[in-house]
Structures are given as structure tokens and as C-alpha cells.
Amino acid sequence: MSSEIVHVPLNALDHLHRPNYVKLCYYLPLQPGAKPIDVFEDLGKGLHKTFVQVPWLGGKVFRQSPDAAGYLPGQRELRYKPAAAAPVDGPLPHQLRFNELESDYTFAELREEGFPSDAYDDQELLSVPIEGNLDTGCDVFVAQANFIPDGCVLCMSTCHAAIDGTAMVTVMKLWADNCRSLYDANEPVEPFPAESSDRTLLDKLWIPPKGGASLQDADAWTRGLVGLRPSEGSTTPIDFQNWFGNDHPNPPRLMKNRTFYMSAANMTALQKECEEATSEEGANTGPLSGNDVVTALMWRSLVRARAAAADDTLDEESVLESAIDGRMEFSQSVPPSYLGNITFYNQSAIPVADLLDPAVPLGRVARAIRAGAGRVNSASLHHAYALIKGVADYAQLKPRFRRTAGADMLISNLLLFPVDEIRFGTQKFGNEGRAEAVRCFNGPFNHVARISFILPRRSKGGIELAMNLFEEEMDCLLEDDEFNRFCLEL
């Protein structure tokens, strides 16, 4: 194994995302008699093989030295040593931790209750900071195997400065494939495409807009794709280690995360209601998607709950950011397995008064989301990429949801994440090594940001929604008649 440290600069779009950690937890049944320590050792061996295939996954994210060629203030880089290809005889990767939960639940009981998100403190499932320390290095990948009777809650996270949500699932599949290959020589793991780790790929595929791209000339929606606003020209670095979004000197209260279920029948009824309302208004932004209407319900319900519990009035306007996976639209030459960040933010804005007015049909809210989503194409993403490449300091990049005050938020749709393709094998796991549920947790990132998720599809026809609110806000959401017509708390 080479002892030389490899340095890889992260690209412009990687800098849209802070070095924060969001956790995906996979609820895996175990085979009868499977011993936790044996399962853990196999998971560690599979992870080692993964780090051999993609060495930088076992590395860290650092600030780049100002002396580096092409340095820009705020520039970050990957640092790693190539992993030894020999079988693991010594310690397992330190990025994987072992934990036996002191739990009253068996796996069957968790299943019976719908895998509730509050069964465990999510920091007990995997302890991660709000953000990693770029001076000492942020682990690219961390995970913890949590064992309960007859089950394993396998929780993983990645440093968002290096990997986006889609890539998290790709990494998880690669890990599972490597674990399965430990038992079955007929299931070799295919070589991982080199271009999937190429941090220069987006620059190679980028087509600069004709006439250039000026931040001041770009409209608000295009700027919002990459977290830029023309009024924020300051390049003063933000101390995110001590920043909590509200100019608050101490960490505010932690928000609660709850998971809700929407049946297929309720989703159909919701879409019909939104389509009929907008048809009556003569809206012509094209057909509404399922994502449009579900996101609209979440947006209005969350703002309504926040307003009902607020001591003061909210902002006059609410801006919703919806995460966009740019792999398909940026270029057809971006492989689906690309492991860097290629996430943009569709922005929709509505007066808070309209969101709170029961006379305003939900379909109008969904149309506001569709109006932005309909603009997403290769040209618009390349234009936004030009803007982000033109900044003088990466500290200028800050999506709006990174605060708890006001009425802004992020809703990220993970519904189509291919989690059913993640199979750890039948040697130690039940259900063919597939997770029976997937949950998304923010950990202490709940201190600083308003983020909710449409979770990966796990049950036929229905969908699950993960939403975060302060306790008194969550109480208001649970009493919301419109929300309760469509959603059931798990």
C-alpha cells in the first residue's frame, strides 16, 4: 500500500453543500441464530473491499492549502491513502462502529409499529456533528451497525461536501454487493466506473452559456439553483461551527422528526383535488406530478404549523427549496453512478398569507412548484453552473433553508432512490438482505435547518414522509385537518 497521501480538489458544485451529515438508516432483519459480532465483521470486510474499489470513500475532506494551484477562498479537497487490496486480517475500517442497543423492541415489534422514527434517539444510532471540522478533516463515510433482537439498524452517513443523497445510495449498494460477494463467488462485484469519481467531469461536460453569465443579470430562480442571491455580495467567511441560523449565541432547541404514511388511495385523491382546483383557475403550467402535490401539502402544512405556534408573525413570503438530482439533466454523459454532488435547488415562492388562507386551493401551491420544476433542463443547469464557477469566494453559497426562523424550508424527494437494489445477501440477513424500512435523520443538523423528506418507496402504493418541527409546532401539525385527511403518523 502506498503511504503517499492523494489530494483531489472538489469541484465548484461540491461547494454548494456544507460538510454536514444527514443519516440514512436501513432496518435489516437477521437470520435466526445470526450473531451480531459475526454480522459486524462481515459488514467490516465488505466495507474494506468498498474502500479498495473507491479509495477516497475512506478518506477525509479538508480545507485546501492557499498555496495550491488554482486555489479559491473556501476551496476544499479530498485527502486519502489508497486502501490495501489484501484481505482484512487486522482491524476493520474505523469508519464502521458496533453498537448493541438497549432496546425494548424486537425487530418484529418494530415492524408491527411501522418502524417509528422516534423508537431511538437518532444520535444513538449514529453520532455525527452538525458539520465536520475541515481543519482536522471530515470523514467522507461513517456508519454504525446497531443490533436488536433479530435485527440490525444499519445507519450510515457521508460528508455532504463530497457526496450527495443519490450517491449515498450508490455507495450503500456497492457496500452491500461487496458483502454479498464474501459468500458467493458467483456474484463478483463489477469494477466501479472511474468517471464516477472524476471531480473534473462536470467541468468537462459543462457548456458555457453564450455571452457569459453575470450574477446580477441572472434571475432569482437561476441564482437560487446554486444558493446565490445578488444582495449577498459579501465574501466574509461564515463560521458554521458556531452559526445556528438565528443569530442565536447558543444552540436552539432540537426539532422533532416524525414519519407519516400516505396511502396510494389518499395520494390519488390529493392529486385529483389539486388538478381539479387548478383546472378551475385556468392554470396552464402542464400536468402536476405526484411530487408536486405531495410537496405542496407538506409545504403548506409545515408553514401553517409554524405560524400557529409562532410568538411573532412569520416572514411575508415563504421560499421552498426542492432538491434536484442533476444527473439526468446536466448531461447524458454523467453516469448514474457519479459519486460527487450534482444537486441543485428548485425555488418556489408564495406569500405566507396565501399558504395560510384556506380559500387558496392547494393546487395553486402545487402549480408554484411545477412552474420552477418545468424550467429545469440542461441549459438552465449549465447557466447556474456558470454562476457558481464565477464566485470569488465559496462562502457566498448558502441555500435559504439553512435557518430555523422565518418561513423558508427544504423538501427533498428521495422516493425514487433504488433502495430495493441494496441486498446484503441471505447468509446473515433475512428478506434477501434488503431493508424492510429506510429512515432519514438529521441529528444535530435539526438545530440549524428546516429539512423534510419524501422517503424512498418501501411499501406498495403508499409513501412515507419525514418532517421536522419544534415540539409545539409538531403538536399543531398533528391537529391540522387537511394534513390528517391524507397522512397518518407512524
The yes-or-no verdict on residue 274 having pLDDT over 80 is yes
pLDDT tens-digit series, residues 337-376? 999 999 999 999 999 999 999 999 999 999 999 999 999 9
The yes-or-no verdict on residue 248 having pLDDT over 50 is no
| Buried/exposed code over 61-89 (b: 16+ C-beta within 10 A; e: otherwise) | bbebeeeeeeebebbbbbbbbbbeeeebe
Q: What is the mean pLDDT of residues 208-231?
A: 83
Q: Which alpha helices (DSSP H) does 225-341 contain, by range? A: 264-281, 290-309, 327-330
pLDDT tens-digit series, residues 13-55? 999 999 999 999 999 999 999 999 999 999 999 999 999 999 9
Site of grid cell 425555488: 347
Report the DSSP beta bridge partners of residue 80: 6
pLDDT of 283 reads: 58
Architecture of domain 6-186: 2-Layer Sandwich (3.30)
In this prediction the pTM is 0.90
Give yes or no for a contact between 490 and 110, defined as CB atoms under 8 angstroms apart: no
pLDDT of 244 reads: 34
Q: In whole numbers, what is the pLDDT of the chain averaged over residues? A: 88
Q: Which alpha helices (DSSP H) does 54-205 contain, by range? A: 107-112, 122-125, 165-181, 201-205
pLDDT tens-digit series, residues 6-23? 999 999 999 999 999 999
Q: What is the mean pLDDT of residues 239-258?
A: 52
> pLDDT band at 459, cuts 50/70/90?
low
d(Cα 188, Cα 257) in Å, to the nearest integer?
39
Closest by CA to 411, choosing from 361, 362, 450, 363, is: 450
Q: What is the mean pLDDT of residues 143-168?
A: 96
d(Cα 431, Cα 61) in Å, to the nearest integer?
36
Asked if 6-186 and 218-230+249-416+448-489 have one fold, the answer is: yes
| Buried/exposed code over 473-488 (b: 16+ C-beta within 10 A; e: otherwise) | bbebbeebeebeebbe
Please tell me the least confidently modeled range out of 73-82, 104-113, 250-259, 286-295: 250-259
Beta strands (DSSP E) in 81-117 are 96-100
State the number of CA atoms in the 13 A half-sphere of 469 facing the CB. 25
CATH of region 218-230+249-416+448-489:
3.30.559.10
pLDDT of 168 reads: 95
Q: What is the mean pLDDT of residues 83-92?
A: 65
Q: Write out the three cell numbers for 319.
A: 421560499
Domain boundaries, the chain: 6-186, 218-230+249-416+448-489
